[in-house]
Amino acid sequence: MATQDLISLLRTSTVDFDFYEALYRHFHSQPELSYQEVQTAAKAASLLRSLKAGYEVQTSIGGHGLVGVLKNGAGKTVLLRADMDALPVKEDTGLDYASKVTMRDRDDIVKPVMHACGHDFHVTSLLAAAERLAKMKDSWSGTLIVLFQPNEERAGGAQAMVDDGLYDKIPVPDVVLGQHVMPRKTSYVGSRMGNIMSEADSFKITLYGRGGHGSMPHRTVDPVVMAVGVVTKLQTIVSREVDPDQFAVVTVGSLQAGQTENIISDRAEVRVNVRTQNHEVRNRVLASIRRIVKGECEASGATKEPLIEETTKFPLSVNDEAVTTEVHKSFEAFFGDLFDPNTPCSTASEDYSILGSSQGKPCCFWFFGGTDAKTWDDAEKNGRLAEDIPVNHSPFFAPVIQPTLATGIDALCLAALTFLKTS
Ligand SMILES: [Zn+2]
Ligand SMILES: [Zn+2]
């Protein structure tokens, strides 16, 4: 579709914003943890089924994943993806629709739950886009798939849907598209060619000492001292071993050992998260982690070899050149100067690209801003963006509903129509 035709077409169709804003507040106040997106999935399925356009809806794929397929004549097959899960974070936004929800997680521990990553925007935007694109179906041709993915945060949902026979149930898409709300000024849309989000590898590392009385350290091997040595030394990987021109992050997100003051524990557990954007750098960092952990255990007289277990893994997200060129043309024409085609590659990670890469199909992903314009401008003026703008996963993460929602819906519709040929 010619870009100008596409833009005029998009302007002819809209949705009831009051309805979708209320729906957003509903999802925000009723978040569900990864693996447990029961009500969110049920609501999405029932709304898709209620659209007169005739989406074929299939549920419970790879957990609570669901898809709606709208077959609308010859043409390309386009998959739009939203993730549904929330996080174990206690909401502190003070919003009148803030979450007060608690849930038992997979380890049976009760946790506060919050949509602190904005997946409620993704679900609501995709439902609205599904309705809006259906209303325009006389003006495009092809197959539209809207996919609601469970468990993005724990890195398993996309793979679980594929492993559960997703592509036996629905057509394989020609292109997979996704988006994420970010702490940028509202109306901002950013994308880039090539790497768009980092690869992530996480590990649980168990270090073994010999426990005993706190008053007799000479009769023990103290895993706390061993763990502190490991953590400190791990922080030299990025500063001393990685080429300064390359990107890498090594974060120790959890360090646990012991129960009380006067007992030396027999083990310590260190959880490490690594982000990279280049396979060679990744392999070097992972090898360094193993070398350092083994070396520190040896130096401390550990009672046995450390146990290094992979916990989660996200692939590198790469925006396909041909597909992204087309999406960028549409975004540039519609969003004008508000669209940034060279947004920095994010240090964050996503698993959505598995929906395409598992079938050898191209993907494109973009970001859209959710921070109130005045709040952003004030913070920027005062040089306080880092301090005053809550980021994803913060208890204060509170994107403004509009124009964030409108941007998310426009972007999804535009990107889909870019590939759905005119009748
Ligand atoms: Zn997240
Ligand atoms: Zn997220």
What are φ and ψ of residue 120, in 5° steps?
Answer: -65, -35
Residue 228 half-sphere exposure, CB side, CA atoms within 13 Å? 3
Residue 92 CA to ligand 2 centre (angstroms): 18
Q: What is the pLDDT of residues 193-236, one digit of tens each?
A: 999 999 999 999 999 999 999 999 999 999 999 999 999 999 99
Residue 394 CA to ligand 2 centre (angstroms): 12
Residue 107 CA to ligand 1 centre (angstroms): 20
Rounded average pLDDT over 178-192 = 97
CB of 126 within 8 A of CB of 80?
yes
Rounded average pLDDT over 46-61 = 95
Rounded average pLDDT over 109-113 = 97
Residue 53 has pLDDT above 90, yes or no: no
Residue 408 CA to ligand 2 centre (angstroms): 14
**250 SS3 class:** strand
Query: CB neighbours (10 Å) of residue 24?
Result: 26
Nearest ligand to the C-alpha atom of residue 393? 1
**283 SS3 class:** helix
Cα–Cα distances (Å) from 195 to 49, 61, 105, 181, 318, in that order, read 36, 28, 33, 18, 4
According to DSSP, the β-strands at 110-112 and 77-83 are: unpaired
Please determine, looking at this structure, whether the domain spanning 3-197+316-419 carries the CATH number 3.40.630.10.
yes
| Residue extents of the structural domains in the chain | 3-197+316-419, 199-313
**Predicted confidence band of residue 6 (pLDDT cuts 50, 70, 90):** confident
Residue 118 CA to ligand 1 centre (angstroms): 8
Residue 22 has pLDDT above 70, yes or no: yes
Residue 139 has pLDDT above 70, yes or no: yes
Residue 113 CA to ligand 2 centre (angstroms): 14
Residue 1 has pLDDT above 80, yes or no: no
Nearest ligand to the C-alpha atom of residue 370? 2
Nearest ligand to the C-alpha atom of residue 121? 2
What is the reported pLDDT for 224?
97
**Predicted confidence band of residue 13 (pLDDT cuts 50, 70, 90):** confident
Helix (H), strand (E) at residue 313: strand 307-314
* Radius of gyration, CA atoms only, the chain: 23
CA distance 207 to 221: 11
- The answer to whether 320 is a known catalytic residue is no
Nearest ligand to the C-alpha atom of residue 118? 2
What is the reported pLDDT for 414?
96
Nearest ligand to the C-alpha atom of residue 181? 2
Per the residue annotation, which of 32, 37, 83, 85 is the catalytic one?
85
**Predicted confidence band of residue 106 (pLDDT cuts 50, 70, 90):** confident
- Ion ligand 2: protein residues whose beta carbon lies under 5 Å: 117
What is the reported pLDDT for 423?
52
Residue 297 CA to ligand 1 centre (angstroms): 33
Helix (H), strand (E) at residue 195: strand 194-197
Residue 201 CA to ligand 1 centre (angstroms): 15
**Predicted confidence band of residue 421 (pLDDT cuts 50, 70, 90):** confident
Residue 413 CA to ligand 1 centre (angstroms): 23
Which CATH architecture best describes the domain 199-313?
Answer: 2-Layer Sandwich (3.30)
Residue 401 CA to ligand 1 centre (angstroms): 18
What's the mean pLDDT when you consider all of the chain?
A: 96
Tokens of 157: 């949902």
Per the residue annotation, which of 32, 152, 199, 351 is the catalytic one?
152
- Ion ligand 1: protein residues whose beta carbon lies under 5 Å: 117
Residue 153 CA to ligand 2 centre (angstroms): 7
Residue 117 has pLDDT above 60, yes or no: yes
Nearest ligand to the C-alpha atom of residue 394? 1
What are φ and ψ of residue 304, in 5° steps?
Answer: -155, 170
What is the reported pLDDT for 2?
76
- The answer to whether 85 is a known catalytic residue is yes
Query: CB neighbours (10 Å) of residue 325?
Result: 13
Residue 318 has pLDDT above 70, yes or no: yes
Share of the chain above pLDDT 90, in %: 95
